[in-house]
Structure 1
Amino acid sequence: MTEQPLGPFPKPESYQPIVQRLKDMIERNNWKDKFERAVHDAYKTGVEDMTNISSLTDYYNFLNYFVLWVPKEDETGAFVYNMLGTMYFVLDQKTVRDFQSPIKPSSYPPPPLTELSKWIVDFAGAMGQFLDTPQSLTEESLQTFYTAENYNVDAYVVPEGGWLGHSFNEFFARKFLPGTRPIDGPSNPAVIVSAADSTFDGSWDINTDSIVYLKGLPWTIGELLADSKYANDFAGGKFMHAFLSPYDYHRQHAPVDGKVLEAKVIPG
């Protein structure tokens, strides 16, 4: 299977509840023109993955397919990423962007989500529920991940009896075979190792004016640490960011020996 445009997506007799909820929301709030424009603008960019999504109905059909999609890859290893990106590409268009909660590190804890943002979170949850089922991983779909070389599937532990009967989420959170990623200086506190099997995206000095870009959004390190009682302890240090692609090992590890004193989740 080689790279190809997404779709076309069939129109169902009835939409999945989560998709029908979006449809009802758009109609109740008189947002139809705004969403039609968002789909049109996304389509007119010429992005190949929008080839078969040129109307709001097409977008509903895509979402209905996507929420119960059995993930599969192509030889480029980018198909899963493109499917995810297509959903959010429409939602990021100018005419519908203001219906969503802004993501600002300075407003922590974050304000209540807008109706549309809450729907986006719930859509991800609905997808996650399906991806927790054995139906989300088939013999055919599993083979596509072996074909996509950048997934390096042979480097991971295979459960006893194989992957079939397990969920896609279990496959996605697969573990490396012992020794695949040896740790340098495990008993040396001066050695910092990578926290994830990921693509290094840059490093910055830590001061209140340093700006980093996380998922395309500018954040100041001062804002990220604003409500932490340990904020001043990091002054003069270094911040690094790494990016996880869908094909990467999706587990994170402590880069140094120590004890976690504080953690927070920023919705986004």
Structure 2
Amino acid sequence: MTLKQRLYSNSPVPRKDWLGHVLDSIHEQGSVDGEISLDPVVQEFKDLIEGDSTLRMLAGSMFHEVPYHDDPVGNPQVREPDTMFKMINHLLTEAPRWSDQAYDAGHVGLPLNTIFNWPMATPSGHAFFLHPKVNVQLKKILKKWEQYLSTPDSLNVVSKSDWLSPSARRSLAEDANLVPGKSYTFEEIYICDPTKPHHGWKSWDDFFVREFRPSVRPVHFPDPPIATRWSSSTGRGPRDQDPTAVIVSPCEAKPFALRTRVNECDSFWLKGQPYSVREMLSPSPLESMSDHFTGGTIYQAFLGPTTYHRWHAPVSGIIRGHATIDGTYFSAPPLTGFPGPEGPDPTAQDRAQGYLPHVATRAIMIIEADNPDIGLVCFIAVGMVEISSCEIDPQIVSGDKVRVQKGEPTGMFHYGGSTYCLIFQKEARLNWVGECIPHVHEFHKNVAVNSALAFAQPREKKRLEACVDCS
């Protein structure tokens, strides 16, 4: 298969249709109103690029470095920065729409990613989307879009002709039906009221961060009250597994990677995508704790834009630190770009997930587990593409909460796909649930949030060494 065939065969119709819709809208508006007036945040982005010779060069080059003028079957594409600005401007008052074809291709709900998908796969695009000034402006743009997506005006797509259409509800329910032999409808899975307009949701974002009904995702092996717990050193068998030794999935996600003996620093941008613990925690006060995880284990999984986007505590314990890091929004490593050995990633950042926890916008939470055989656990929520917010629970951020219970909600993503990592210390001896191990199955389904992910075995050293509380 040629480069063009490989890139285009995965998702031609959704990308073509959405770009064509926006380009037609921009042309029509320009024909009626003359020069299109840009929103102040988009104008500021344009002024930044046009006023900086390096950024102006990169912005122009990244479109010309795409190895064809039209797409592989002749449809015109975005070819210069001015059209990019107008398309972003149009997006600020348009919520992501549902499309059966886009869902099948893995592109549903990602309009900005559709604009940037090809230029970000070029050498100039790699440099452009890594630039700190560009990401400051992209954050402002995403925040402006977030404001719209949090208003009732964005509900026009949360309708029976769009995200609540029979095919959409059926697909969303299929994503969430993970218990063999059981099948629930969309309305049985999510808290909503189908008798109300828009099923009772107040905005697009309210729909996006929809919650499961309480019985849908029970916590596997829930921890008993501290006073009634037994020691993990009593030699109980699997049927009598100590609940505190069970780590549950903090998100509804598909397994991506499982790495052991990770380095404190490594070349995370190269093929194979090794993990570099210090970069994942930097720049933040938690960087000083990277040595606690050097030589440890990293598990990573991917959340599609149609799945449940709230996080839950993987273990019970004390929060020893948390931080939110402003990073990149649309950066992808060179290995997934046009010059890469395997050609560009057709769905943008899917193959780049090992790279993203080092550079993308992310939220970090370090928990000292009650069970000393688990020790310290680092949870990293990583924003991908459209994400403009990785929101830690306000009680945790405010300092009102220093303890979490396994399965308890701890935060959420907003506005797009995402990925997460769990990092364990090298002393933790973990047995992983088979369905959670990446690449064991050809086609992975989501691992249900709050389901068993791994079981901690007794350590050789029974007591966890004291760590610095950097919260």
Which of 49, 70, 85 is the matching residue for 1:60?
Answer: 85
Amino acid at match of 1:205: T
For 1:183, the equivalent position in structure 2 comes to 219
CA distance in 2, matches of 1:95, 1:141: 40
1:196 and 2:251 are equivalent in the alignment: yes
2:206 equivalent to 1:151: no
Partner of 2:276: 220
Aligned to 2:100: 75
**Aligned-residue CA RMSD (Å):** 3.3
CA deviations over 1:199-231 (Å, ceiling 9, x no partner): 1111111442686969x9764124435754544
SS at match of 2:299: strand
User: Match for 2:124: what amino acid?
Assistant: T
State the match for 1:44 in structure 2.
68
**Does residue 281 of structure 2 align to residue 256 of structure 1?**
no
1:224-264 deviation per Cα after TM superposition (whole angstroms, max 9, x unaligned): 35754544444554211111111110100001111211122
Paired position in structure 1 for 2:42: 19
Find the aligned partners of 1:192 and 1:161 in 2 and give their Cα distance.
38
Alpha-carbon deviations, 1:178-202, whole Å to 9, x = none? 2212221012101111100011111
- Partners of 1:139 and 1:71 lie apart in 2 by 7
> In structure 2, what residue type is equivalent to 1:94?
P
CA pair 220-236 structure 1, distance change in 2 beyond 3 A: closer
**Hey, what's the Cα distance between the residues in 2 that align with 1:35 and 1:194?**
40
Distance 1:44 1:118, change over 3 A: same
| Residues 37 and 101 (structure 1), Cα distance of their counterparts in 2 relative to 1, 3 Å cut | closer
Amino acid at match of 2:277: I
- Tell me whether 1:95 sits opposite 2:130 in the alignment: no
* Structure 2 partner of 1:242: 301
Contact 1:175 1:249 survives alignment (8 Å): yes
More strand by share: 2
SS at match of 1:7: helix
Distance 1:37 1:232, change over 3 A: closer
> How big is the shift at 1:17?
2.0
Structure (1 or 2) with the larger CA radius of gyration:
2
Shift of 1:67: 1.8
CA distance in 1, matches of 2:46, 2:278: 40
State the alpha-carbon separation in 2 of the partners of residues 121 and 139 from structure 1. 24
Between 1:191-200 and 1:70-79, the stretch displaced more is: 70-79
Change in CA separation of 1:212 and 1:202 when aligned onto 2, cut-off 3 Å: farther
Q: Secondary structure at the match of 2:255?
A: strand
Name the residue aligned to 1:108: none
- Asked if the contact 2:158–2:207 (Cα under 8 Å) also holds between the matched residues in 1, the reply is no
Secondary structure of residue in 2 paired with 1:175: coil
Q: Distance in 2 between matches of 1:24 and 1:207?
A: 42
- Given the alignment of the two structures, is residue 161 of structure 1 paired with residue 184 of structure 2, yes or no? no
What is residue 447 of structure 2 aligned with on the other side? Answer: none
Say if 2:95 and 2:157, in contact at 8 Å, map to a contact too.
no
Q: Distance in 2 between matches of 1:245 and 1:179?
A: 22
CA gap 1:218/1:206 in 2 versus in 1, 3 angstroms: closer
| AA in 2 matched with 1:243 | F
- Give the match's secondary structure for 2:310: coil
Q: Name the SS for the 1:202 alignment partner.
A: strand
- Letter in structure 1 aligned against 2:38: Y
Separation in structure 2 between the aligned mates of residue 169 and residue 70 of structure 1, nearest angstrom: 9
Alignment check: 8 A CA contact 1:136 1:168 kept:
yes
From 155, 161, 172, give the equivalent of 1:137: 155
- Unaligned 5+ segments in structure 2 are 1-12, 30-35, 174-185, 224-242, 328-359, 361-471
Report the TM-score when normalising by structure 1: 0.78
Does 2:152 align with 1:126? no
Contact 2:96/2:110 (8 A) holds in 1: no
Q: What TM-score does the superposition give when structure 2 sets the normalisation length? A: 0.47
- Counterpart CA distance in 2 for 1:135 and 1:3 is 24
Q: Is it true that 1:84 corresponds to 2:112 in the alignment? A: yes
